[in-house]
């Protein structure tokens, strides 16, 4: 009954931060929050802190964010004044 939680609060908070920054078009903050998410996810995986369902769920989130953030930078933008 008191085994693994369905979700991980730390990762959920980081997902919320990435999502919020994406919605508000905060490119640098979204990239930084995603890196924090990736690092935390990696650490939890290496330490066996996530069950199989959690791994699948957060892996899906990681892949979705990764594809969204692939070209989400300031570098490629042209400024038309």
Res. 29: pLDDT tops 60:
yes
pTM of the shown model: 0.81
In terms of Cα–Cα distance, which of 46, 39, 53, 30 is closest to 10? 39
Instruction: Measure the CA–CA gap between 39 and 23, rounded to whole angstroms.
Output: 22
Instruction: Measure the CA–CA gap between 15 and 12, rounded to whole angstroms.
Output: 5
Res. 21: pLDDT tops 90:
yes
Q: What is the pLDDT of residue 5?
A: 57
Q: What is the pLDDT of residue 79?
A: 42
Helices (H), the chain: 9-23, 27-46, 52-69
- Burial (CB < 10 A; 0-12, 13-18, 19+), residue 74, is exposed
Q: What is the pLDDT of residue 75?
A: 60
Res. 51: pLDDT tops 60:
yes
User: Between these two residues, 12 and 72, which has the higher pLDDT value?
Assistant: 12
């Amino acid at each position: 009954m008191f085994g693994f939680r369905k979700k991980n609060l730390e990762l959920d908070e980081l997902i919320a931060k990435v999502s919020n920054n994406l919605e508000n078009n905060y490119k640098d903050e979204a990239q930084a929050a995603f890196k924090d998410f990736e690092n935390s996810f990696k650490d939890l995986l290496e330490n066996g802190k996530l069950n199989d369902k959690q791994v699948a769920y957060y892996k899906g989130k990681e892949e979705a964010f990764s594809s969204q953030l692939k070209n989400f930078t300031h570098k490629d933008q042209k400024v038309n004044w």
